[in-house]
Amino acid sequence: MAGEAEGRGWRRVVSGRIAAWAAAAAGPARAAVARGGAAGWRCGGTWFVGLDALPNGPDGAMGGVEFPWRDLGLAPVPLHPGQLSVTRAGYPRPSEEEGEAAYRFRLLRDAAHLDGLLPVGPDKRRMVKEPHGWILGLPLNRAGAGAAPLVVWEGSHLVMGAALRAAFAGVRGPLEDHDITEVYQAARRQVFETCRRVELPGTPGEAVVLHRHLIHGVAPWAEGAEAEEPGRMVAYFRPVMASVAAWLGQEG
């Protein structure tokens, strides 16, 4: 990232090639959601998680349409099958799979998180098990601005990056096994206090690129908001870096 986008931690890109890729991906994406059935929906049936659900190739191509690497300003890397994150009216609703505290955090704080930190063990200690290089979101259908858009905290990547590098300084042994739960939670509280919350609705033909350390989440579905079926649908890609040490670096 460069310039103003580097300070914000995110940038939006719009192009015809992105629109062509989204059009090619939309049909297979809807089919994948249908195949997932009711079991694929969480949060009281309002969020389809869709991990590895998009049948793209390792080069990102869909239906013979190449992935718009040049327009995105990203160096080509092998891609995992994309996540299909789909929300629909009512998101979020209480559900059996998460407790009251988690539901309230989702409702009041947009389930704000840093990708790649996984809950480990019965106490759900946070460790960097998936050091993503970047996060890329590509809207696949039309949705109103209030249809549970992506939310980011601008500049939070700077707060989180500094806190994480300090937390790992001098650590011996595998970095991916280092418990950073308290550091992460304290830094996220600082983000809520000091960084601007911004909603980023999108439409096919647009893409949003997030810095890997950026705190982000999903806003609740606003009353009266609408989206094409099966709901607000976004494809996400998060390629994994070679190491946690690389993930901690200040570049990129």
How many domains are contained in the chain? Answer: 1
Tell me, letter by letter, the H, E, C secondary structure of the chain.
Answer: CCHHHHHHCEEEEECHHHHHHHHHHHHHHHHHHHHHCHHHEECCCCEECCCCCCCCCCCCCECCECCCHHHHCCCCCCCCCCEEEEECCCCCCCCCCCCHHHHHHHHHHCCCECCCEEEECCCCEEEECCCECEEEEEECCCECCCCCCEEEEECHHHHHHHHHHHHHCCCCCCHHHCCCHHHHHHHHHHHHHHCEEEEECCCCCEEEEEECCCCEEECCCCCCCCECCCCEEEEEECCECCCHHHHHCCCC
Structural domain includes residue 247 = no
Question: pLDDT per residue over 38-65, tens digit each?
Answer: 999 999 999 999 999 999 999 999 999 9
- CATH assignment at residue 38: 2.60.120
Question: pLDDT per residue over 118-165, tens digit each?
Answer: 999 999 999 999 999 999 999 999 999 999 999 999 999 999 999 999
Structural domain includes residue 246 = no
User: Domain containing 129: what range?
Assistant: 3-241
Structural domain includes residue 217 = yes
Question: pLDDT per residue over 61-108, tens digit each?
Answer: 999 999 999 999 999 999 999 999 999 999 999 999 899 999 999 999
